[in-house]
Amino acid sequence: MKIGIIGSGALGLYYGAMLQRSGQDINFLLRRDYQAIRQQGLQIYSVNGDFHLPQVAGYQTAQEIGSVDLVIVGLKTISNHHLIDLVSPLLGAETAILTLQNGLGNEELLAEAFGPERVLGGIAFLCSNRGEPGTVHHLGEGKIRLGEFSGGLSQRIHDLAAMFQAAGVPCTAVSDLRRARWEKLVWNIPFNGLCALLENDVTDLLNHPPSKKLARDLMLEVIAGANVQQLEEPIDGAEFSQQIIHFTENMDHYQPSMMIDRAAGRPLELGAIYAIPLQRAKAAGVSMPQVEMLHALLDFGEGQETVNRFPIPGK
Amino acid sequence: MKIGIIGSGALGLYYGAMLQRSGQDINFLLRRDYQAIRQQGLQIYSVNGDFHLPQVAGYQTAQEIGSVDLVIVGLKTISNHHLIDLVSPLLGAETAILTLQNGLGNEELLAEAFGPERVLGGIAFLCSNRGEPGTVHHLGEGKIRLGEFSGGLSQRIHDLAAMFQAAGVPCTAVSDLRRARWEKLVWNIPFNGLCALLENDVTDLLNHPPSKKLARDLMLEVIAGANVQQLEEPIDGAEFSQQIIHFTENMDHYQPSMMIDRAAGRPLELGAIYAIPLQRAKAAGVSMPQVEMLHALLDFGEGQETVNRFPIPGK
């Protein structure tokens, strides 16, 4: 299958590399890593074993890639104002578009521009980071949950799940993509935000009882917001929040992507992970006051210079 | 009147100096500033005019001061485990105790140890900071609202208010000390906490619309908590929060004490300003979820080393 990867960061490069290794025809749109990958290929350092791809089809424009069978979108949502222009040149009559981006609003953006029938979404549970240009560090996890934007289990979704499986990527098809997206938010909203704000990892956070309680309270708000989104079946707040806490307790000092982005001075994905979920919950009559507070606190740091170790009057 | 000052920080030194200049017999319990004040006296740099007191009665132990007519307590509440031992040696049969400390719980501590009839409370609106040993910077404000712990307007309260007035300190007597304490919390809870957490001053905070909304939402929670505390009359949420916002908009880049303490690595007064108000509201059936969240976020930073500019895996 000819596949185009739009947004070749740690996620796009990792999944693209896994698929190419399994025999798929992968075409990366590259920016930062273009020169390095042309010269040295693509190196994956993975907990499941390192590997190197010496020949990689990398391009600097989407036009050079031309039409593909499948577009995989790994773009940061903060760059979504470029999304339509980047995807358009890859579309033939039958091209499907799979967005693996974070949060809410991405499928809708693609569906409005290109028609809902083209659009698929996937929730990636991947711990990976970019290293030097041309290298990716895969630290753990990697599974994907795939679904149709329009809902239901299609043949296409089963085929794509099988393709990922064949490439060594655990992948399941889900009939309720919306529920899967909200389930992921139950993790992302507390842990991405609190770790970015407090500059500490998930383990440090959960070792502090008031923060652990806060993380759980945030989860319960998100689950209440989720359960008014016409899901196929509701999420059980007590049970699911407990599962997520337990799952996160087993992540040894994991630093969520938003914490790393904040530390590196990069903009945060606040729209997809906070603003749009808040809007959707509010539109359905549910307020999430602690989520709203976390959003405001994170937003304060965006584009704002913190007065580091500010002068103390009279000192 | 013979007065002992326990807790001679920026607040205790400032009010003590004002009272001494007006002719009162002031006795300071000193620690950090003892040597400097013995050698050079006490220097106040004030927006209302600088002044110097060459002769200051400073002591290293409360025992040396002996019994007084009035104890004024300016101790940080984080040192309240020393409060009873420090105040005891100053008590004669008729000695009154006036606590000007922050937040809730201070009068109760004194009343339990020494009897409620001795205890008075004052809410100080003072912008001051310690400078070099023996110096205090008075940046603005300074007024005090005084009340009886047991409520009502006594002759003693009127006399003390007149004493402060005569010393150039604007002072009013209030019949409902509890209400005055909660009114102050309506400012302290949002602005001390948010400025400490975000490391930015009140002006930067209010210039960011989501933070301004958050500050107001926090105020409304605190007012709801206040209004179940058997106040003489309830606080009007919409009107009072608007007044506080307006009042704070006129503070030009003011840095609350908690922000300065956090920047200097000093412990924060979280018990008096957050934990006890949260307990009291909860005991009366009112939850304050955003206040609780702010408390948890601030508590996380206490005694916790933040991983400053933490290493990014793979970088």
| Local mean pLDDT, 10-residue blocks, chain A (315 residues) | 96 98 98 95 97 98 98 96 97 98 97 98 92 94 96 96 98 98 98 97 96 98 98 97 95 89 93 98 98 98 51 31
Record the pTM. Answer: 0.89
Mean pLDDT check: name the lowest of A144-153, A203-212, B30-39, B247-256. Answer: B247-256
H or E stretch at A219: helix A209-226
Q: What is the DSSP letter of A95?
A: E
Q: What pLDDT, on a 0 to 100 scale, did the predictor assign at position B1? A: 96
C-alpha torsion sign, points B48, B49, B50, B51: negative
Q: What pLDDT, on a 0 to 100 scale, did the predictor assign at position A311? A: 31
pLDDT band at B307 (very low <50, low <70, confident <90, very high): very low
**Other beta carbons less than 10 A from residue B305's beta carbon:** 8
Q: Name which of B244, B246, B202, B230 is nearest B286 in CA terms.
A: B230
Cross-strand partners of B130? B136
Cβ pair B128, B138 in contact under 8 A: yes
> In percent, how much of chain B has pLDDT > 90?
90
Interface of B with A in 31-50 (CB under 8 A): 45
Angstrom distance (rounded) from CA A206 to CA A218: 13
H or E stretch at B58: strand B57-59
Cβ-Cβ contacts under 8 Å between A and B: the total is 127
Interface of A with B in 112-141 (CB under 8 A): 129-131, 135-137, 139
Q: Which amino acid is at B124?
A: A
pLDDT tens profile B44-100: 999 999 999 999 999 999 999 999 999 999 999 999 999 999 999 999 999 999 999
Angstrom distance (rounded) from CA A37 to CA A44: 12
From the CA of B132, how many Å to the nearest CA of chain A? 7
Superfamily of domain A178-307: N-(1-d-carboxylethyl)-l-norvaline Dehydrogenase; domain 2 (1.10.1040.10)
Angstrom distance (rounded) from CA B47 to CA B129: 13
Q: What pLDDT, on a 0 to 100 scale, did the predictor assign at position B315? A: 28
3-state SS assignment for residue B115:
coil
Q: Which amino acid is at B26?
A: I
B315: nearest CB among A131, A293, A308: A131
Q: Name which of B137, B122, B10 is nearest B70 in CA terms.
A: B122
B70 token code pair: 């009035």
Beta strand B119-130 with B135-148: parallel, antiparallel or unpaired?
antiparallel
Residues with Cβ within 8 Å of residue B90, at least 6 apart in sequence = B4, B6, B62, B65, B66, B67, B68, B71
From the CA of A203, how many Å to the nearest CA of chain B? 13
Q: What pLDDT, on a 0 to 100 scale, did the predictor assign at position A306? A: 39
Half-sphere exposure of residue A107: CA atoms within 13 angstroms, side-chain side: 22
Interface of A with B in 58-117 (CB under 8 A): none
Q: B211 and A300 in contact by Cβ < 8 A? A: yes
A47 token code pair: 């907990």
Angstrom distance (rounded) from CA B287 to CA B292: 8
Task: Output the CA torsion A283→A289→A290→A291 (10° steps).
Answer: 20
Q: What pLDDT, on a 0 to 100 scale, did the predictor assign at position A304? A: 53
* Chain A contact for B231 (CB, 8 A cutoff): no
**Other beta carbons less than 10 A from residue A264's beta carbon:** 10
Kindly report the three-state secondary structure assignment for every residue of B118-153: HEEEEEEEEEEEECCCCEEEEEEEEEEEEEECCCCC
Chain A residues whose CB is inside 8 A of the B9 CB are: none
Kindly report the three-state secondary structure assignment for every residue of B168-189: CCCEEECCCHHHHHHHHHHHHH
Q: Which residue of A has its CA nearest to B308?
A: A199
pLDDT of B310 over the 70 cut: no
Average per-residue pLDDT in chain B? Answer: 94
Residues with Cβ within 8 Å of residue B265, at least 6 apart in sequence = none
Domain edges within chain A: 2-175, 178-307
ipTM of the complex: 0.86
CATH code for the part of the protein at A2-175? 3.40.50.720
Q: What pLDDT, on a 0 to 100 scale, did the predictor assign at position B257? A: 87
Q: A314 and B130 in contact by Cβ < 8 A? A: yes
Mean pLDDT of B190-204: 97
